[in-house]
Structure 1
Amino acid sequence: MFSRFFIARPIFTWVIAMFIMGFGAFAIFQLPVEQYPNIAPPKVSISATYPGASAETLENTVTQVIEQNLTGIDNLRYIQSQSSSSGQASITLTFEPGTDPDIAQVQTQNKVSQSLSALPTIVQELGVPVQKAGSSSALIVGFYSKDGSMGRNDISDFLSSNLEEPLSRVDGVGQIQTYGSEHAMRIWLNPISMNNYNITTLDVIQAINEQNVQLATGEIGGAPNLEEQQLNATITAQSLLTSVEEFEEILLTVNPDGSQVKLGDISRIEIGTESYNVIGRWNRQEASGISIELSPTANALTTIQAVKDRVAELDSIIPDNLEVIYPIDASPFIKTSIYNVVITLGLAIILVVLVIFVFLQTVRATLVPAIAIPIVLLGAFAALYIFGYSINILTLFALVLAIGMLVDDAIVVTENVERKLEEDSDLQPKEAARQAMKEISGALLGTTVVIWAVFLPMTFFEGSVGVIYRQFSVTISAAMGISLLVALTLSPTLCGIILQSGKAVKDKGFFGYFNRGFDKMKRGHARTMDKFLENKIVFPLIFLIAIILTTLLFFRIPTSFLPDEDQGRMFTLINGPPSTTLNQTLEKVKQVEDFYLDNTDGAVEGLFAAAGFSFSGSGQNVGISFIKMKDWDERGDNQSVFDISNKAQGALSSVKDAMIIPIVPPPVSALGNSSGFEFQLVDLAGLGNEALAQAQNQFLGMANQSPLLTQVRFNGLADSPQYDLDIDNVKARALGVPIASINQTLSAALGGTYVNDFLENGRVKRVYVQ
């Protein structure tokens, strides 16, 4: 018999138990800790910039060109793209769950490289980065000037130049976005002065390219050289310009009389910023920040802490007047959630041991199942380590649920051995353990197999639901398997060592009172069952009614993927009419700030806002506010994120010329930025953008009338107004005006043209003419 071998070898049995505990203890410190397992499918993002281009131009010249080459990529599920009137194109590739995100990124990068030659020159020069993408920000590293000495453009330049690159190299960081941009040399052309001096935009660009250039002019005495050569030196002839004054001295023309026209004569030159499309704020002060998304396989707690540690390491280069803040930080809620489950697990263990003691009524008998608990739990952690899972809410919940079942095996063994000892006072504990195991080993195995039959099929579920149930079922099944092993090996061995022959006295004191009451309850239960069994109609009728009620309740109780929770943060989207300017959007952002900072009874700790940016894309008519709530213990009644969101919905709905939508983040941030679901409307018939927009508006109107739906909105940017400019090519040719010159002039005048680079504080930055 299997158990007999271990009962006869207690030291060997203890070695096995100690090995399980040691392996489990090791696994606990190696396992990643996260809120939920990696549910979302891997994503890769492609971004491109075409300054001054309309959404339609961007779609035709950039987005479609790249999309047409994204064929033959392994495990690709679908592609989503967005082209905005701000010149920003974004393409997101979603892959099958389980796909290696690194391989997906490499394959996507190779396909994009094949498309580069077909893209506009300016797009190629600005770059087309390919990154592993998440779905929402897990952390925002924000900065603001304590004394107001640094404006948002200076703060953004500092972040882009000094922090963006180091933080992007932190293990687990996916996509990074700075709310702002680096400094750039901005050359603002004066059309009147240019006309007076008869200078074109092409003349300016050509002069900058000729006089702002880094030349490699070689060296004197380079090898091979003459024997009598006595000097070796590098020759430097010209380098990149570094200041506004040097750019003002760029020579454009020299007149016959010797007079000169310089760049400073026909333009205003300043060190500005690459993009003026985003305005960042923190609690009504100018600010900027870096939004960090996690890579698909990253561990949230580890990555967020690593980013904070990296910021702390860079403290020596951060100006003294800059204060670091974390407006969005997912880690406190994850830590609190894990802590609460761990506390529940601890309480469950204590209650289980107390219940065992109350019913077994001897310390010796209680020790047997009590010792089994930590061994089984640690063994379950070892199983998680072997399967490559993590410590998360689902696996811990599975252990909480399993505690009540895993001690059953040890209790059955203990009670059966005790019964043997009580029936035969001359029987030795080891022999009693052997006899008991001979009777119940099959039953123990049978009950465990039944539990496996219930939970193991969940491992075959597919998709995100499959990921959730797989870890849950494997944890329970592994715990029950280890519980069976302990019940067949260690528990009978402990019974043979710890238990004593004879019958324990259990009819006095508390246990006597408890036993008499329990016996009375058993007799009452027996009488009730006798009456039910005498009547062959009542009991089946009650059973049938219970089944009907259960079925009705099952269909009436609301269902959801995961329940929404107060994560200590929320968002608010600001959408204005398509023709809204950035300054007008900023005024709406300030109204949102006023509400959250002044009308929430101190529930809000801070608010980071970005005018010109939103989850749906970038544009002058959109904005977003990231609201950081105070700690849960510091908030009073009716101050949860749900209460604040409802209050904001009512208060901000009256803001004119803007749709303001408070959003509570979803329980699994990797699946999106808000709760609910997304509906994709696809133009399969190829009817065009106008027909698609008409169908979209019709669908939104019908959806908003449904009492089952709330906050239905278009997840994108509405078409913005545009002026159509028609160039008369025939007349241009007749006047001797090159078409290329017209195109270049229009691009520079209205969209800005990237020319080349300059040096600022040893870092290469861009030069724009507009």
Structure 2
Amino acid sequence: MTGLVDWAAARARMIMAFIVLSLLVGGFAYANLPKEGEPDIQIPGLFISVPFPGISASDSETLLVKVMETELADLDGLESMSATAAENYAGIFIEFEFGWDKSAVMADVREAMNAAEAAFPDGAEKYSINEINFSEFPVLIINLTGDVPERTMSRVAESLKDKIESLDAVLEAGIAGKRDEMLEVLIDPLRLEAYNVTAGELISVVRNNNQLIAAGEVESSTGAFSVKIPSSFNEPQDVYNLPVKVNGDRIVTLGDLAEIRLTFEDRLGTARFNGETTVALQVVKRKGFNLLDMADDVKAVVARASAEWPAELQSAVYVGTSNDQSRVVGSMISQLEGSVLTAIALVMIVILAALGVRPALLVGFAIPTSFLLCFAFLALMGVTISNIVMFGLILAVGMLVDGAIVVVEYADKRISEGTGPMHAYVEAAKRMFWPVVSSTATTLCAFLPMLFWPGVPGQFMGMLPVTLIFVLSASLVVALIYLPVMGGVSGRMSRLFGRSADALRAATPWWLRAALVLPSLYMVFLGAMQTL
């Protein structure tokens, strides 16, 4: 294994190219990795709801809940089951063991619910099975408020919904606070009596219309005929002209018997924003996409759409955002990045005080290089950047420099004894190869059991040991392969700078060297500020 060090030292230029390539790939991976607030966790549970209009809570327990519990109790891998019985409703939550096969479990649950549904009393509506998936919660809400007609606001919301859902990163944009339009038919009993139409005839006609009737080509002895039956309602006028009865030479339509008007369904809920009634678009992110980029794209789409509205509509409708998770995640990423940079600075200060300038720079180089290599590994694994990943990076800052410190300190000792820089760093890497590897391996062994942490907590914290394994493995590559080459090249350069400084000191008077101190310090300050 120590032959890798000699191989890398003999190909210093190639290793330098690998270092540059690693930095570029790692930086590209970090910029393009999806960023989340929390890891995407799949809860191994299903919620089943059964609506039953008019049923009491006690009857719901007896006739619905107990029947479902009996059929669902024999499911494989079932861990717990809890139910709720209420008026007009029954619900049950079933939780399974971690590592469940969702497709197989869903099939078993549907089979059990079909058997239970056969035992339900008449009047029960179709059951629904819902997954508990945090990734389907809204990450951004677009609020539309203003003193405009409800129908106008609904059409604006529908238009925005279509444009937002056209984005690849958006799974859906549900609308809250909007009522669906409906045709309201108010039957006049006096008109029914005047046209000699009974209520049963009217209801039968309405029920038998607006249906899809299969048609096509009809073959007979005289030939083939194409048949088309216009049977569905496309606009309110179709309902108005619906024939009900023939009265003499006149056809009595539904519009003759009732008052028909376009209105809205009864409101079942409302949405509020800043104390005002609003129509809200709840944007759900598609899994695997960057939350920050998705929020920016949605806001850009909304801004472009609102700019195309008429001037009166722009002045009347206010577009606001709430529950913007991108702000929280962006702030968290910025704070964690600041914490990582602060930790790097503190580590370099400690090493600077203990070993000197050049060792501090080499060890400081090891920290971001290891991080960027870690991001490249995370991109290969398809892992998103979350607060757990960033916390793992902060935790690893103090550990990943141990190997670099040992190699750099031993190499400096050999350089002080007269050994050349490249030979000194190669000898240090070979001499400390197995101690550094074993030290890193013992640290990884401490976090390795966390990979096998069962249940939802293990799924939540699983990215912590993965991050530490990647970043500490990257630190081995940096300490034993990259640093010897960087140390040897930088040692030769520092020796060249030292000889140049000695020559400059011998050729220039002291007052000129003193005059160059302030401009040099100012240039260093400008460079540091530009870097920050």
Q: Which position in structure 2 is the counterpart of 1:134? A: 133
> Is structure 2 residue 473 aligned with structure 1 residue 481?
yes
Shift of 1:300: 4.8
Q: Which position in structure 2 is the counterpart of 1:240? A: 233
Q: Which position in structure 2 is the counterpart of 1:376? A: 370
Count, aligned residues: 489
Select 2:403's aligned residue among 398, 409, 419. 409
Change (3 A) 1:292 1:199: farther
Q: Which position in structure 1 is the counterpart of 2:181? A: 183
Q: Which position in structure 1 is the counterpart of 2:352? A: 357
Q: Which position in structure 1 is the counterpart of 2:438? A: 446
Instruction: Give runs of aligned pairs for residues 93-104 of structure 1, distance below 5 A.
Output: 94-97=95-98, 99=100
Gaps of 5+ in 2: 499-532
Identity fraction in percent: 24
Change (3 A) 1:326 1:42: farther
Change (3 A) 1:497 1:171: closer
Alpha-carbon distance in 1 for matches of 2:258, 2:197: 11
Change (3 A) 1:216 1:405: closer
Alpha-carbon distance in 2 for matches of 1:449, 1:325: 52
Alpha-carbon distance in 1 for matches of 2:211, 2:123: 18
> Is structure 2 residue 273 aligned with structure 1 residue 282?
yes
Q: Which position in structure 1 is the counterpart of 2:389? A: 395
Shift of 1:74: 6.8
CA contact (8 A) 1:137 1:328 kept: no
Alpha-carbon distance in 1 for matches of 2:461, 2:182: 51
> Is structure 2 residue 500 aligned with structure 1 residue 498?
no
What residue identity is the alignment partner of 1:347?
T
Q: Which position in structure 2 is the counterpart of 1:641? A: none
Instruction: Give runs of aligned pairs for residues 214-613 of structure 1, distance below 5 A.
Output: 214-216=212-214, 218=216, 234-236=227-229, 238-240=231-233, 242-243=235-236, 246-247=239-240, 251=244, 269-292=260-283, 300-301=291-292, 304=295, 320=313, 322-363=317-358, 365-422=359-416, 424-425=417-418, 427-499=419-491
Alpha-carbon distance in 1 for matches of 2:199, 2:119: 25
Change (3 A) 1:278 1:342: same
SS of match in other structure, 1:288: strand
Change (3 A) 1:183 1:53: farther
Shift of 1:336: 0.7
Alpha-carbon distance in 2 for matches of 1:313, 1:84: 46
Change (3 A) 1:416 1:145: closer
> Is structure 2 residue 204 aligned with structure 1 residue 206?
yes
Alpha-carbon distance in 1 for matches of 2:365, 2:431: 23
Shift of 1:463: 2.4
What residue identity is the alignment partner of 1:243?
P
CA contact (8 A) 1:133 1:296 kept: no
Alpha-carbon distance in 1 for matches of 2:299, 2:45: 25
Q: Choose 241-250 or 3-12, whichever is displaced more.
A: 241-250
Cα deviations by residue, 1:247-293 (Å, 9 ceiling, x for unpaired) = 59764897xx9999986788665434344221333334332324456
Shift of 1:498: 2.6
Choose between structure 1 and 2: higher helix proportion: 2
Change (3 A) 1:148 1:437: closer
SS of match in other structure, 1:277: coil
CA contact (8 A) 1:42 1:96 kept: yes
Shift of 1:209: 0.9
SS of match in other structure, 2:262: strand
Shift of 1:341: 0.6
SS of match in other structure, 1:378: helix
CA contact (8 A) 1:75 1:96 kept: yes
Cα deviations by residue, 1:127-165 (Å, 9 ceiling, x for unpaired) = 7665544358434644445333226xx745775798389
Cα deviations by residue, 1:644-685 (Å, 9 ceiling, x for unpaired) = xxxxxxxxxxxxxxxxxxxxxxxxxxxxxxxxxxxxxxxxxx
CA contact (8 A) 1:294 1:300 kept: yes
Alpha-carbon distance in 1 for matches of 2:161, 2:390: 37
Gaps of 5+ in 1: 505-770
CA contact (8 A) 2:44 2:95 kept: yes
CA contact (8 A) 2:157 2:175 kept: no
Alpha-carbon distance in 1 for matches of 2:82, 2:295: 28
Q: Which position in structure 1 is the counterpart of 2:524? A: none
CA contact (8 A) 1:41 1:98 kept: no
Alpha-carbon distance in 2 for matches of 1:464, 1:393: 17
Alpha-carbon distance in 1 for matches of 2:194, 2:120: 36
Q: CA RMSD in A?
A: 4.9
Alpha-carbon distance in 2 for matches of 1:92, 1:494: 59
Alpha-carbon distance in 2 for matches of 1:289, 1:304: 15
Change (3 A) 1:215 1:208: same
Q: Normalising by structure 2, report the TM-score.
A: 0.71
Q: Choose 484-493 or 71-80, whichever is displaced more.
A: 71-80
What residue identity is the alignment partner of 2:435?
A
